[in-house]
A and B are shown apart, each in its own frame.
Chain A
Amino acid sequence: MISSLVIHIANDPEIAKRVIGQINENKRLQHGPPIGNRLPLVLDANSTSQAQSDIEWLRNLPGVEHVDVAFVQVEDCDSRDSQKNKQSNAAEAK
């Protein structure tokens, strides 16, 4: 799944440099040009759990104040299948 993210970085050039350096080391993340204290990112993960894990990693990076998830793109995803699966799980549980 591919996600558009915007992170807000603390107002300190040294911290921003360090955050961008750490992001560069993560192969699943690609960043765009910083706009003020905001940094646009694309996250290309193989699974939802990997994406969630990466987003949590970003949230916990020292100097990252906030992560906005602006857009999530999922290939071959069918919400109805997902709901059916869960309904069938619930039925089994009863």
Chain B
Amino acid sequence: MTVQVYWEDVAEGMKLPSLVKNVTTRQLVQYAGASGDFYEIHYDKDFAQETGLSGVIVHGALKSAFLGQLMTDWAGPLGALKRLSCQYRGMDYPNQPITAKGTVTRKYQEGEQYLVDCTIWLENPEGESTTPGTATVMLPSRIANAK
């Protein structure tokens, strides 16, 4: 089990624990079924190449799901994801590691909510960011709990 992170434990500049995903073509088909996104560029190599791609590519939405997991894993059972934003700038391919990473950029309070903003991104095996984004989570506070 993961240890619950509290707002007081967080500092700006802190790195989030990375999440490594290795997508198989089987998972692309599984995601197509679960999401209802059956666009052929994600499972039909000939089709993908006809549109000018080098092969099948990972669904953008699946990549955003990985960034969602990066955040919900970190926020833990008492935290909540408030905002998730990402842009699909580069293609990602199956059968190679995709790593979700994040850094805390801002820690602040809004009313009763204890919030943290992060810069998040996916990295391909070459270390390039293919999917930059931002996220905001609400975390539990020890101070607020003690009141």
Chains A and B belong together in one complex: no
Q: Name A residues whose Cβ lies closer than 8 Å to a Cβ of B.
A: none
